[in-house]
Amino acid sequence: MKNLQNSEIEAFKNQFGGEVILPTDPAFEEVRQIWNAMIDRKPGIIARCTCADDVVLAVNLAREHQLLLSVRGGGHNIAGNAVCDEGLMIDLSLLNQVEVDPDKRLARVGPGCTLADVDGATQKHGLAMPVGINSTTGIAGLTLGGGFGWLSRKYGMTIDSLVSAHVVTADGRQILASETENSDLFWGLRGGGGNFGIVTQFEFKLHPVGPNVLSGLMVFPFAQAKSILTQFARFTQTAPDELSVWMVARKAPPLPFLSEDVHGKEIIALAMCYVGDPAEGEKLIAPLRQFGDVHGEHIGVQPFCDWQQAFDPLLTPGARNYWKSHNFTELSEGAIDCAIEYAASLPSPQCEIFIASLGCATGRPEPDAMAYSSRDANYVLNVHGRWDAKEDDEACIEWAREFFRKSKPFASGGAYINFLTQDEADRTESAYGPTFKRLQAIKKKYDPDNLFRMNQNIKPA
């Protein structure tokens, strides 16, 4: 391996408490794989950490030998930043413990945890925090990029529930970041991605949720898309904090509540979750049924953990994925027309367009309260290209890029960095907007040599 002799690798293995995997080891092919099959990189060495001291040893190895360094939490990032070519991949997936203090409503979460790990532990106590909507996503990347999901209108972004973080810095120190300790770093971690260090433990405040919630899907004919999206835009502007309704345009999967003649046809689905009294939620969602001629629905009271896993079958690892994303303060007629145009020409059965409705609690902090600054994003659109065969790359990627270009005039500034692909480095500064210069200064203080650069990179000031 470049910059590293066999004797140095052996010395590292003797000190390291976790597992060191080399390209010649049987486990290498499996461990290097991540969620997005488009990313096919081969590290020179993989360090699977079992404690914070392991992370320190691995960071020191990368710094002292000038190795390209990547950090894997859940391995779900669309850009594939979890894995590098020929360098050192620090794998945190074994650090997957969750400790819940139900009396203080706090959770201490390891960086290798998935959302399923977090939800499972917190929901035992009727508590939760805002996370994403695919349970196999890693909590670390989600949090450091901002994080949003079904609970965000009520309880804000994931970073709005972050209390503190234990961090290994580029010089190998272990420090605590919170509002009172290393507060500049804490400010930067909340949205600044993996630019400033490796978090070895997160501490979150928790909120009362469920454990049962009213949630589910309504599916409408695509022919009625204009009317449905227009009403969706109007409805979500005034819906209460407790109710989240998202729009998905795609080809219908073979859901049991849909007739077979709908399977594989373009549809508009409204996905919803109400965090409150289900009887009140039923009253609130009743108007949605009047948006069009419902093909079918599957809505009821179910465990929040089950709803959090409802979309997992559509997002399994191993497919090829390419995303483009915009923020919107409002859904104008032009934005709606553009979404309908491209939803009518999906290049594969797995491609979809989804629009998450945010606002409410996500918009209440000031834009400079933390690194994530897009507090005016009442809607986040994700153009999700997804397919299986490499020969379909060009058609699916171009579809996503064309839609992105055509919808840009209707979008607001900023971007959600967790949705940026590996070819969008030029969007990083605009994604942060007014907080970017401050982030550069923090980067210079904590990582002046840009050791942590496999990310949506913020170069030191």
pLDDT of residue 284 exceeding 90, the answer is yes
CA-CA distance, 450 to 453, in Å (whole number)?
6
Predicted pLDDT at 461: 82
Residues 176, 338: Cα–Cα separation, whole Å = 46
The sign of the torsion formed by the CA atoms of 44, 49, 55, 56 equals negative
Task: Give the pLDDT confidence score for residue 11 in this predicted structure.
Answer: 95
- Whether the predicted pLDDT of 422 surpasses 80: yes
- Residue 457 contacts by C-beta under 8 Å, 6 or more apart in sequence? 195, 425, 428, 450
- CATH class belonging to 6-91: alpha beta
Residues constituting the chain: 461
DSSP bridge partners of 114: 138
Closest among 349, 328, 329, 331 to 340, alpha carbons compared? 331
Give the separation between CA 209 and CA 212, rounded to whole angstroms: 8
Pairing mode, strands 88-91 and 69-72? parallel
Q: Where in the chain is the domain with CATH 3.30.465.10?
A: 98-209
3-state class of 410 per DSSP? helix
Q: Are 132 and 111 in contact (CB under 8 A)?
A: no
Q: Residue holding tokens 């080809």?
A: 251
Judge residue 276's burial from the number of C-beta atoms within 10 Å of its C-beta, 0-12 exposed, 13-18 middle, 19 or more buried: middle
Residue 92 CA to residue 31 CA, distance in Å, equals 11
The pLDDT value given to residue 248: 98
pLDDT band at 413 (very low <50, low <70, confident <90, very high): confident
Distance in Å from the first CA to the final CA of the chain? 31
**Alpha-carbon distance 42 to 80, whole Å?**
12
CATH class of domain segment(s) 212-419: alpha beta
Whether pTM > 0.75 for this model: the answer is yes
**Would you say residue 45 has pLDDT above 80?**
yes
Encode pLDDT of 159-218 as tens digits.
999 999 999 999 999 999 999 999 999 999 999 999 999 999 999 999 999 999 999 999
Which pLDDT does position 2 carry in this prediction? 73
Paired sense of beta strands 198-205 and 162-168, if any: antiparallel
Q: Which two tokens stand for residue 237?
A: 């502007």
**pLDDT band at 4, cuts 50/70/90?**
confident
Q: What stretch(es) of the chain map to CATH 3.30.43.10?
A: 6-91
- Fold observed for domain 98-209: 3.30.465
Which residues does 426 contact at the CB level (< 8 Å), separation at least 6? none
Dmax (CA) for the chain in angstroms is: 70
Least Cα distance to 194 among 460, 461, 457 occurs for: 457
Query: How crowded is residue 235: how many other Cβ atoms within 10 Å of its Cβ?
Result: 18
Dihedral of alpha carbons 48, 50, 56, 61, sign: negative
The predicted pLDDT at position 358 comes to 98
Given a cut of 90, whether residue 389 has pLDDT beyond it is yes
> Please, which residues have CB within 8 angstroms of residue 40's CB and are 6 or more apart in sequence?
none
CATH 3.40.462.20 intervals, the chain: 212-419
Structural contact between residues 139 and 113, judged by C-beta atoms closer than 8 angstroms: yes
Q: Are 63 and 52 in contact (CB under 8 A)?
A: no
How confident is the prediction for the chain on average, in pLDDT? 97
233 dihedral zone (left: phi>0; alpha: psi -120 to 50; beta): alpha
Strand segments (E) across 11-68: 19-21, 45-48
Query: Under a CB-based contact definition with an 8 Å cutoff, are residues 29 and 42 in contact?
Result: no
DSSP state of 138: B
Q: How far is CA 33 from the centre of its chain?
A: 18
Q: What is the pLDDT of residues 307-331, one digit of tens each?
A: 999 999 999 999 999 999 999 999 9
